[in-house]
Structure 1
Amino acid sequence: MSDLQKAWAKNRLGTMPVETFDEREEEEMGTVSELPEHFDDDSSSASSASSASSTGTIIPSPSQNLFARPQGVPRGRTFQPIPWTTYFERELFLHDETLPQSPTTHAYLTSPVGKGPLFVMHHGGGSSGLSFAVVGDQIRKRLPSAGVFSLDARGHGSTTIPEGQALDLSLETLADDLLTALRLTQREMKWAEPPPVILVGHSMGGAVVTELARSGRLGSALLGYAVLDVVEGSAIDALQHMHTYLSTRPTGFQTLETGIEWHTRSRTIRNSVSARTSVPSLLTLEKNAEEEGKAEGKPADARPWKWRTDLAATQPYWENWFVGLSAKFLAAKGGKLLLLAGTDRLDTELTIGQMQGKYNLQVFPEAGHFIHEDLPEKIAVSLVDFHRRNDRTALVLPPKVSDLLKQGKKV
């Protein structure tokens, strides 16, 4: 660069206004700009994209403000909780009076219309039925006749067990709870017969719906089952890292909004709308502890919002959930769909089964573990397409010979 060019550039830069960033701005507002509803994961889609075009060179255009502050939606509505009534018609509290020791299962329901299917959702460990709120709404937008049933497993959400009873989270017990909840819902809603069912389970819930499908207890009502981001091999390998993850997770939060913020900032849930919907059901305000602390002269808890589910206490059941999952998934009757966040999660048994065409596989590398919350629209499309491929009402069967004879037609 010549001396003349350097002098011109120095003079030009000196006249440009400099925008300063005051960190107090956001602190005074009390909120931060909202994250985009869907954003890429640096460890998945971003890395995939870079490796796919590693021989190319990307040159930004002058119009791209690469160092500008991100522009979100207006402040003040960022992490406000979204009520369950936005997505479901009703909530149910289901209890079998003939079994006093059975839980009172809390569930959300939007009933199917006519002969529409019922998507039965089971969440993963530590989550709740509202984990499927947004994806369920997206399913109904694409299939208006569909119903959505999503429960809180025992020890999760608002489901309760009799006082003094030990918490049993074994796979067989959870599968029994799901079946009982469906039968009680049929009685509560006065359905003459059960609607066609598509079972959908995420993580631990994937093991539960597979167990129920394998048992055959839903009979001809079961059209198929979908498992979201869990396979036996990778799940068991991940268990050894669970304690590390739990040790890095906050023990509580100051408000519901800060709990929602943590889930989005930590990229646990990468969709802000899903986080605002599902996270409030994961936390509970411990008022009693705060009042006892005041009575004893102790300072108030700065983080009174605690986790409803003690994930560390579920450790005795972790292997029970996942050992043998791949074999059961392949052996159970009905249509099979496996949705993953990455192909590296496939174990040998499922890889062979996929090559043999025993189930449908779709991969969403831009999502994290909560793929149905990160990408509700895409997962809804996959589930609706899966239903259509397995919908028996769409089959056109030839007329029976006896019916043709009654109509006086020649056979």
Structure 2
Amino acid sequence: MSDLQRAFTKAKRSTFPIEPPIIDQADEEQDNFAELQNESQADDDSSSASSASSTGTIIPSSNQNLFARPLGSPNKRTMDQIPWTRYFERELFLEAKIDSYTITHHAYLTSPTGAAPLFVTHHGAGSSGLSFAALTAEIRRSLPAAGILSLDARGHGYTAITPEQETLDLSLQTLTSDMMSVLEQTKLQMGWKELPLLVLIGHSLGGAVVTDIAKSGKLGNAILGYAVLDVVEGSAIDALQSMQTYLSARPAGFPSLESGIEWHIRSRTIRNSTSARISVPALLNFDKEARGSRSWTWRTDLAATQLFWEGWFVGLSKKFLEARGGKLLLLAGTDRLDKELIIGQMQGKYALQVFPEAGHFIHEDLPEKTAMVIVDFYKRNDRSALVLPPKVSEILRAGKKV
């Protein structure tokens, strides 16, 4: 090629527009959808959201640098704590003197308005009242007038005992008594003439507590119903055999609060990053004397509660089926059902909902779906919505013929 031809070709090329990359539009929309879900979905590399964000098809032009380094990750999640004030109106400190010690129960409250119900929640072992924060926000989205009372059990969250006890009593009887005390003290502190209609919700250990209260009949007709989240007597007792192995495998502490939140998400203990940012801070305590990788330690020593594990769940299925009031069981898998509950389900004694895509913390992993089921459960059992026909005596008094 002559010098004249080369010059002509070079000049001609300079007039061509720069060739843009060709982007698959369907995949781009999928990427955007996955990015929007990051804040509320669990961090799961195998999930559909993660897959969508990694399969966007970009066909580069020949003049692009294929080996250029990306400028950071645009989808990096924050692990900052979310304050409880976004989910509840107030926190309560309810003091009670018992024998030789004083217990100050800590709870979060949003008061009901009018004739709306009060949803009362009890968390599982090692957790706290903030475990239900994301769920209660979704409940109030459907029932804005509903109230929420979410307590911290003794030895958990910010409930405190003075003087400190060497051996913490976490028997089912004691935890049941504590929850009854919290309800009564909340009624007095808020100036309620009587308790609102109640829907009790318990996760794991909390499920055993609310079932025990319902079976006792101590709240009378105030209980509309009770919901038990991912706990069944048979599978719970079987799982206790491997509990110590699980506790020995988890970290003894974390270098920061953010790393503790991240561990819960990465380990899939909690699959919803937003809920983890709300609930995990209440599980950890800053140790001034500790340094390095263990300055944030667990508030609750779960290994020390082993004495009470079996007592929490023995007889649970029988009590669940026999207690008065509407009954709802939410599970992460049907394999958790034992024989007694399978028979009860076939007889229509309770409502059952299974979320196979959730982990043990159903209410944290899928707060919106869980709330939909619980709100529907409440509406089916709401006595105030019933219109009963007049009694015969009332008709006769009105001078009408029967």
* TM over 0.5, shorter chain: yes
Correspondence for 1:186: 187
Aligned pairs (5 A) from 1:29-40 = 35=38, 37-39=40-42
Please say if residues 40 and 367 of structure 1, whose CA atoms lie closer than 8 Å, have aligned partners that are also in contact. no
Partner Cα distance (2:252, 2:98) in 1 = 38
Structure 2, unaligned runs of 5 or more: 1-19, 22-35, 59-69
Matched, 1:322 2:313: yes
Aligned pairs (5 A) from 1:107-126 = 107-126=107-126
Correspondence for 1:22: none
> The residue matched to 1:38 in structure 2 has which SS?
coil
> The residue matched to 1:262 in structure 2 has which SS?
helix
> Given residue 387 of structure 2, which amino acid in structure 1 is its aligned partner?
V
Partner Cα distance (1:352, 1:155) in 2 = 36
Correspondence for 1:394: 385
Correspondence for 1:152: 152
Correspondence for 1:206: 207
Matched, 1:91 2:94: no
Aligned pairs (5 A) from 1:277-296 = 277-287=278-288, 289-290=289-290
Matched, 1:311 2:307: no
Structure 1, unaligned runs of 5 or more: 1-15, 18-32, 47-59, 291-299
Correspondence for 1:274: 275
Correspondence for 2:178: 177
Q: Report the number of matched residues.
A: 353
Correspondence for 1:55: none
> Given residue 95 of structure 1, which amino acid in structure 2 is its aligned partner?
E
Correspondence for 1:383: 374
Correspondence for 2:27: none
> The residue matched to 1:150 in structure 2 has which SS?
strand
CA drift of 1:96 comes to 2.5
Residues 345, 274 of structure 1: CA spacing in aligned structure 2 closer, same or farther, 3 A cutoff? same
Partner Cα distance (2:211, 2:401) in 1 = 48
Please say if residues 84 and 133 of structure 2, whose CA atoms lie closer than 8 Å, have aligned partners that are also in contact. yes
Please say if residues 285 and 298 of structure 2, whose CA atoms lie closer than 8 Å, have aligned partners that are also in contact. yes
State the identity %: 65
Correspondence for 1:226: 227
CA drift of 1:145 comes to 1.7
Partner Cα distance (1:394, 1:176) in 2 = 31
CA drift of 1:37 comes to 2.2
Partner Cα distance (1:384, 1:366) in 2 = 20
Partner Cα distance (2:164, 2:281) in 1 = 26
Partner Cα distance (2:298, 2:164) in 1 = 20
> Given residue 101 of structure 2, which amino acid in structure 1 is its aligned partner?
Q
Correspondence for 2:7: none
**CA deviation vs aligned residue, 1:142-161 (integer Å, no higher than 9, x gap):** 01121111000000000011
Aligned pairs (5 A) from 1:51-70 = 64-65=56-57
**CA deviation vs aligned residue, 1:203-246 (integer Å, no higher than 9, x gap):** 01001111111100010101111100000111111111111111
Partner Cα distance (1:318, 1:402) in 2 = 54
Residues 116, 206 of structure 1: CA spacing in aligned structure 2 closer, same or farther, 3 A cutoff? same
Partner Cα distance (1:209, 1:72) in 2 = 45
> Given residue 357 of structure 1, which amino acid in structure 2 is its aligned partner?
G
Residues 87, 164 of structure 1: CA spacing in aligned structure 2 closer, same or farther, 3 A cutoff? closer
Residues 249, 362 of structure 1: CA spacing in aligned structure 2 closer, same or farther, 3 A cutoff? same
Partner Cα distance (2:164, 2:225) in 1 = 37
CA drift of 1:339 comes to 0.1
Please say if residues 34 and 73 of structure 1, whose CA atoms lie closer than 8 Å, have aligned partners that are also in contact. no
Please say if residues 108 and 151 of structure 1, whose CA atoms lie closer than 8 Å, have aligned partners that are also in contact. yes
CA drift of 1:303 comes to 2.2
> The residue matched to 1:95 in structure 2 has which SS?
strand
> The residue matched to 1:217 in structure 2 has which SS?
coil
> The residue matched to 1:393 in structure 2 has which SS?
helix
> Given residue 194 of structure 1, which amino acid in structure 2 is its aligned partner?
L
Query: Which has the larger share of strand?
Result: 2
> The residue matched to 1:236 in structure 2 has which SS?
helix
Partner Cα distance (1:155, 1:319) in 2 = 18
Residues 100, 389 of structure 1: CA spacing in aligned structure 2 closer, same or farther, 3 A cutoff? farther
Residues 399, 316 of structure 1: CA spacing in aligned structure 2 closer, same or farther, 3 A cutoff? same
CA drift of 1:192 comes to 0.8
Partner Cα distance (1:382, 1:102) in 2 = 38
Residues 157, 73 of structure 1: CA spacing in aligned structure 2 closer, same or farther, 3 A cutoff? farther
Correspondence for 2:105: 105
**CA deviation vs aligned residue, 1:116-155 (integer Å, no higher than 9, x gap):** 1111100000000000001011001101121111000000
Partner Cα distance (1:117, 1:125) in 2 = 26
Residues 264, 34 of structure 1: CA spacing in aligned structure 2 closer, same or farther, 3 A cutoff? farther
Correspondence for 1:338: 329
Partner Cα distance (2:305, 2:161) in 1 = 16
> Given residue 86 of structure 1, which amino acid in structure 2 is its aligned partner?
R
